[in-house]
A = this chain, B = another copy of it.
Amino acid sequence: MSILVVGSIALDSVETPFGRAEEALGGAAVYFSYAASFFNHVRLVGVVGSDFPAEHLELLQGRDIDLSGLERADGATFRWSGRYDFDLNEAHTLDTQLNVFETFSPTIPDSFRDSDFVFLANIQPGLQLDVARQVNSPKVIACDTMNFWIEGAYEQLVETLGAVDILIINDAEARELAREPSLVKAARAIMDMGPETLVVKQGEYGVLMFNRHSVFSAPAYPLEDVYDPTGAGDTFAGGFMGFLSTAADIDDTSIRQAVVFGSTLASFNVEDFSLNRMKRLEMDDILGRYAEFKQLSHFEEIATD
């Protein structure tokens, strides 16, 4: 089983109440890849500029992430800078320089077309659909999106969702996409657009997963402090798809477990800037925190007769 991810690679400058990072390794495809690499072999498709530090590529290669789909373009790498206040649910973007990412048109190498699990990180929905069509017969296609595309490329996004199995977005995006304030009704409307499964990230409140037959509510891990929420959503997606790619069956049981693995990886990621916490992470830490999630949400049944 192999996992393909297509998305941004960035140099992020981030300020939070706990400190700052300057031009640190970031981007959706990077966070996703690193998190998924704890579970399986990852293939990354993205673009960097000629200024991209070699040490970042070495870090990813050291995780057995296949970079043969990485385009090296003339020009500067995508840069994002932002600030978080004490309400760490909301990023205040200070500056975005798309640079080489602006004209990114992902080409999937022939050797990646047999990928079983595909994650389309947040890029233009038309490009997402184009990628989906370049993969031969994936078992699971999951994708992310954002308010910018919901507002500016709605029809194209809906077309893309028709080709997607799992949509992973936050609650505000779910409500906006479905044009419906009730999240339960919004979920049903979104599943009518194509995805069999909708995963709704609720930041510090956890995650809701909807399919046609059930709803699953995963708690958030009660951290004392969130040092830097950058990349939490893509790290979630990486843990989610990473675990799912190891499951014997893709069903309600394994998708629930995947949600908790995603939450686990994301809870570690926000404990430090950039990928710093994930770099120190071992599989034993992940399994230990997964068990903590179990304890966190456990309560006894009531005997009825």
Query: Which residue on B lies nearest to A210, using beta carbons?
Result: B222
- Residues from chain B with a CB closer than 8 A to the CB of A205 are 202, 205-206
Is B302 a contact partner of A257 (Cβ separation < 8 A)?
Answer: yes
Given A253-B300, A294-B301, A301-B291, A185-B224 contact (CB < 8 Å): yes
- Residues from chain B with a CB closer than 8 A to the CB of A300 are 253, 256-257
Q: How far is the CA of A214 from the CA of B287 in the complex (A)?
A: 19
Contact among B182, B217, B224, B253 with A297 in the assembled complex (CB-CB below 8 Å) = B217
Q: How far is the CA of A260 from the CA of B298 in the complex (A)?
A: 11
Is A219 a contact partner of B222 (Cβ separation < 8 A)?
Answer: no
Is B299 a contact partner of A182 (Cβ separation < 8 A)?
Answer: no
The 8 A CB mask of A191-208 against B (1 = contact, 0 = none) is 000000000001011101
The B-contacting residues of A in range 280-305, CB under 8 angstroms, are 287, 290-291, 294-302, 304
Is A287 a contact partner of B299 (Cβ separation < 8 A)?
Answer: no
Q: How far is the CA of A217 from the CA of B299 in the complex (A)?
A: 10
Query: Which residue on B lies nearest to A202, using beta carbons?
Result: B205
Contact among B216, B222, B291 with A215 in the assembled complex (CB-CB below 8 Å) = B222
Is B206 a contact partner of A299 (Cβ separation < 8 A)?
Answer: no
A143 at the interface (CB under 8 A from B): no
- Residues from chain B with a CB closer than 8 A to the CB of A302 are 257, 287, 290-291
Given A217-B206, A217-B219, A224-B299 contact (CB < 8 Å): no
Q: How far is the CA of A296 from the CA of B208 in the complex (A)?
A: 9
Q: How far is the CA of A219 from the CA of B256 in the complex (A)?
A: 14
Q: How far is the CA of A204 from the CA of B205 in the complex (A)?
A: 10
Least Cβ–Cβ distance between A180 and chain B, in angstroms = 10
A225 at the interface (CB under 8 A from B): yes
- Residues from chain B with a CB closer than 8 A to the CB of A223 are 184
Q: How far is the CA of A298 from the CA of B209 in the complex (A)?
A: 12
A–B complex contacts, Cβ < 8 Å, 25 sampled? A86-B181, A182-B224, A182-B225, A183-B222, A184-B224, A185-B224, A202-B205, A215-B222, A216-B297, A216-B299, A217-B219, A217-B222, A219-B219, A253-B299, A256-B299, A257-B299, A257-B300, A257-B302, A260-B299, A287-B302, A287-B304, A291-B302, A291-B304, A294-B299, A297-B297
Shortest 3 CB-CB distances between A and B: which pairs?
A: A217-B219, A205-B205, A256-B299
